[in-house]
């Protein structure tokens, strides 16, 4: 038997295609990896409650959510990195004055600080999940938040980047930006899992396609960018596979010798 490896998969545009469907070839490949004894994990910007069904379908209990801020190993939380709440409160006040709503997120739920907004509807609906935020502007109080979504047009996040050094801002949708703790990333979450599992760097793999995958792809020894990724993402990876629509996961796993 080949030596065991650990493989981290992004979700949107990697495991799931642009219709948010799991290709049959991808599902079969994941189960084959597990049959071979490999450790399979998810590394996503999504909240845990946004991909529970996918975890159950694939039988995956190890995952990095919120771009590295909430990490679970075999069903147990092993690392959390919450946002600076005082800074979030200040940012929310500025955003409201600019008509830029926010969605506040912990490991169980998400709440918006306005009753409704077309940007929130457009971007959250693009994820094709059953969960939609309800209105609770005080959701940041007395709880740990791991990510906040800022809703603004492209380029409008620059003022927040300049004024809130406590955070990193990563665009995931034309009208929405992830707000993360400064320096928080999927790469950091992977480090926490690998520390526990003990896989050497040569047996660590990661697949991704988005801007929030760049640090992961540039850090993990065997990194694979999807064919549908932007060029900046591809340039961060060691390998480039086919697009998610062209059985990219199966092709990539075969390309690196895992299948």
Domains for the chain: give ranges and CATH numbers.
6-80+184-255 (3.40.50.1000), 85-181 (3.30.1240.10)
Spatial neighbors of 210 by CB under 8 A, at least 6 apart, are 10, 12, 13, 45, 172, 229, 233
Q: Is 61 helix (H, G, I), strand (E, B) or coil?
A: coil
Contact yes or no for 164/180 (Cβ under 8 A) = no
Sequence-distant (6+) residues with CB within 8 A of 209 are 10, 12, 13, 14, 225, 226, 228, 229, 233, 244
Contact 212, 186 (CB under 8 A): yes
Quote the pLDDT of residue 226. Answer: 98
What are residue 6's DSSP bridge partners? Answer: 39, 204
Percent of residues, the chain, with pLDDT higher than 70: 99
C-alpha distances out from residue 192 to 69, 199, 201, Å: 11, 12, 13
Which candidate in 10, 106, 178, 247 is catalytic? 10
| Active site annotation includes 209 | no
Query: What single-letter DSSP state applies at residue 48?
Result: G
Instruction: Kindly list the averaged pLDDT for each block of 10 residues, start to end, along the chain of length 259.
Output: 89 96 98 98 96 97 97 98 97 97 97 97 93 95 95 97 96 95 95 96 97 96 98 98 98 98
Rg of the chain (C-alpha set): 18
**Which stretches of the chain are DSSP H helices?**
24-35, 52-58, 85-97, 118-125, 158-163, 186-197, 214-219, 231-234, 248-255
pLDDT of residue 117: 96
pLDDT at 1: 47
Residue 142's pLDDT is: 87
- A 10 A CB-CB count for 32 gives 14
Pairing of strands 63-65, 167-173: unpaired
């Amino acid at each position: 038997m080949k030596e065991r490896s650990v493989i981290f998969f992004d979700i949107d545009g990697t495991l799931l295609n642009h219709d948010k469907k799991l290709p049959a070839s991808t599902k079969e490949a994941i189960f084959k990896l597990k049959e071979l004894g490999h450790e399979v994990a998810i590394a996503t910007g999504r909240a845990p409650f946004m991909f529970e069904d996918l975890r159950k379908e694939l039988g995956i209990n190890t995952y990095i959510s919120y771009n590295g801020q909430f990490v679970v190993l075999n069903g147990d939380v092993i690392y959390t990195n919450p946002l600076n709440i005082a800074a979030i409160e200040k940012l929310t006040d500025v955003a409201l004055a600019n008509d830029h709503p926010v969605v506040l997120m912990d490991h169980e739920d998400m709440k918006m600080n306005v009753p409704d907004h077309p940007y929130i509807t457009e971007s959250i609906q693009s994820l094709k999940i059953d969960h939609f935020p309800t209105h609770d502007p005080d959701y940041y109080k007395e709880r740990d938040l791991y990510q906040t979504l800022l809703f603004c047009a492209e380029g409008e996040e620059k003022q927040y980047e300049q004024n809130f050094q406590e955070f990193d801002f990563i665009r995931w949708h034309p009208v929405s930006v992830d707000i993360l703790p400064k320096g928080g990333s999927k790469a950091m979450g992977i480090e926490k899992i690998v520390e526990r599992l003990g896989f050497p760097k040569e047996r660590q793999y990661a697949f991704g396609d988005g801007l929030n995958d760049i640090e992961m792809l540039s850090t993990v020894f065997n990194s694979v960018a999807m064919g549908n990724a932007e060029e900046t993402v591809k340039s961060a990876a060691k390998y480039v596979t086919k697009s998610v629509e062209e059985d990219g996961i199966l092709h990539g796993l075969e390309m690196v010798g895992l299948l």
